Amino acid sequence: MLALALLASCAVGPNYQRAATVTGTGYSPQAMPETTASTTDPAGNAQHFVMGRDIPFAWWMQFQSPQLDKLVEKALQANPTIPAAQAALRQALEYVYAQQGFFYPTIGADFNTERQKLAGNQGGNSPGIQGNGTVISTYQNPSGPAPYNGPVIYNFYTAQLALSYTPDVFGGNRRQVESLRAQADSLRYQMEATYITLTSNVVGAAIQAASLRSQITATQEFIDANAKALEVLRNQFRLGYAMSIDVALQESAVAQAEELLPPLQKQLEQTYDLIRALCGNLPNEAVDDDFDLSALRLPEDLPLSLPSKLIEQRPDVRAAEEQLHSASAQVGVAIANRLPQFTMTGAIGGVASKVNQMFSTGGPFWNIVGDVAQPIFDGFTLLHRERAADEGLLQAKEQYRLTLITAFQNVADTLHAIQSDADALAAAVKAERAANKVLIVTRKQYDLGYVNFLTLLGAQESYQQALVTLVLARTNRYGDTASLFQALGGGWWNRTDSDKVAANVPAASQ
């Protein structure tokens, strides 16, 4: 027992070591600007990157929209992906606790009763029977085969307490527990990623709905303006001041403008369907989804985590790391399975033909058995399983590396998008103003007869396109900001107790 205890102090297989911390302070070979471009637009404020600033859990509140806050809270409470992720985590933890049970001996109680009838014509050897029917012994009849005797019927009772213990000599069970716990931790981070993905999708859908509403409004105004122009042209045509070709061109312009509206309305309704689904509602269950871009405020100070911190903050990276940890432990499990297996069993109990005699003199019994089993030849099954575990560890390393690279790429892409879309918004504002001026001047020139109607029609189309482009540029700025909070990890590590209640976080993950 002392030797087994000393052997059990170590576990075969590699001891997991966390990956080295990433060095560097940036997300681009060249230094990126710390401030974006700005313009005189509701979404045109300059945004500043604050390196090292922490991220709040409720990052969506940075948009200062109570309506959006309520929508996210409802989604966190009602979306089915949240309880599904919580249940997966609790299930994984139960598997850990179940595996830990193998560290302890197994104790079982057994009571067996038997009623048996012995034939009476057994010959020379027959059981000796007391007058009360109790079997006392087997004796030899010296006079040869006995005449036919009546059958003997008796009861037989056995009760025992059995113990079995398999000491974890080479740490196979410890490695298995280590692997299962790493898998549970991976699911814990996947659950955090579920929260982040859900909140990001809700915010993105709300921004998209607000953008589509603005595009529909701009398109409807364009249709109304063209319809009024068509009415004026028809009146002028009746009075002889306009040509039929001008009327036909304007009718075509109205029809083309009206063609733009149904696709936008379809996208808006589908976005509303998405919002209702994210909030756990059926399509016929309405939610407060009338968003307007003007109701959102663009956060001016944006947090930017150091690359070394990003590894700790991204739940997908942490989950991949735990999968690597699990694969490392599985190598130890495979090695331990190829080594001798030790088992100790014991039992204590009593037997008798009457229950009250089971533990009287002659009835009690006990046994202790020690067993050592060593696989000698198994068709190389255990060898190949060990090699498979080695390859699984290599695969997990490369998957972790890929996840890490993708995470940094995600942040870099978002930072470049924030800078570029700020420039794009500034250009879109200028283009919209210039197109509006051209339209105003062209309309005056048309009224004075200096340009034909085709020129006016081209100016109207240019302005409508510039207006839609401006709406899309505003949308991109809000969307880029939400994407940055998501890319940096979503602030799950800063969840407060009240946030846990709002987000319906299970006790197992607190």
Query: pLDDT per residue over 277-306, tens digit each?
Result: 999 999 888 887 678 888 899 999 999 998
Segment 469-491, tens digit of pLDDT: 999 999 999 999 999 999 999 99
Arithmetic mean of pLDDT over the chain: 87
**Number of domains the chain contains:** 1
- Indicate whether 331 belongs to any domain: yes
Q: Please check whether residue 382 is in contact with residue 337, taking contact to mean a CB–CB distance below 8 angstroms.
A: yes
Domain annotation covers residue 28: yes
pLDDT digits (tens, 9 = 90+) for 82-97: 999 999 999 999 999 9
| % residues pLDDT > 90 (the chain) | 62
- Residue 128 inside a domain? The answer is no
Residue type, 31: A
Q: Which of 432, 417, 479, 422 is nearest to 46 (CA)?
A: 422
Strand 106-118: give its sheet, edge to edge: 106-118, 152-165, 341-352, 364-373
Residue range 385-396: average pLDDT? Answer: 95
Asked if residue 314 lies in contact with residue 390, where contact means CB atoms within 8 angstroms, the answer is: no
CA–CA separation, 255 and 303 (whole Å): 47
The CATH code of the domain that includes 324 is 1.20.1600.10
Whether pLDDT at 137 is above 70: no
φ/ψ (deg, to 5) at 97: -65, -40
Amino acid 146: pLDDT: 52
**pLDDT of 414 above 90:** yes
**Residue 3's pLDDT band (boundaries 50, 70, 90)?**
low
Of 116, 118, 136, 119, the C-alpha closest to 128 is 136
Question: What pLDDT was estimated at residue 148?
Answer: 56
Q: Is 362 within the bounds of a domain?
A: no
Whole-number Å distance between alpha carbons of 211 and 474: 8
pLDDT reading at 127 higher than 70 = no
* pLDDT for 506: 53
Q: Is the dihedral of CA 408, 409, 414, 419 positive or negative?
A: positive
pLDDT at 151 over 80: no
Residues spanned by the domain of 44 = 2-100+171-339+383-509
Q: How far apart are CA 57 and CA 69, in angstroms?
A: 12
- Predicted confidence at residue 257, as pLDDT, reads 87
pLDDT of residue 129: 46
Task: Check residue 1 and give its pLDDT.
Answer: 54
- On whether residue 129 sits in a domain, the answer given is no
What is the average pLDDT across 208-234?
89
- pLDDT top residue among 8 and 28: 28
The rounded percent of the chain whose pLDDT value lies above 70 is 89
Residue 300 lies in a domain: yes
Residue 247 placed within a domain? yes
Asked whether residue 81 is assigned to any structural domain, the reply reads yes
* pLDDT tens digit sequence for 165-217: 999 999 999 999 999 999 999 999 999 999 999 999 999 999 999 999 999 99
Whether residue 396 contacts residue 182, with contact meaning beta carbons closer than 8 Å, is answered with: no
Residue 200 has what pLDDT?
A: 96
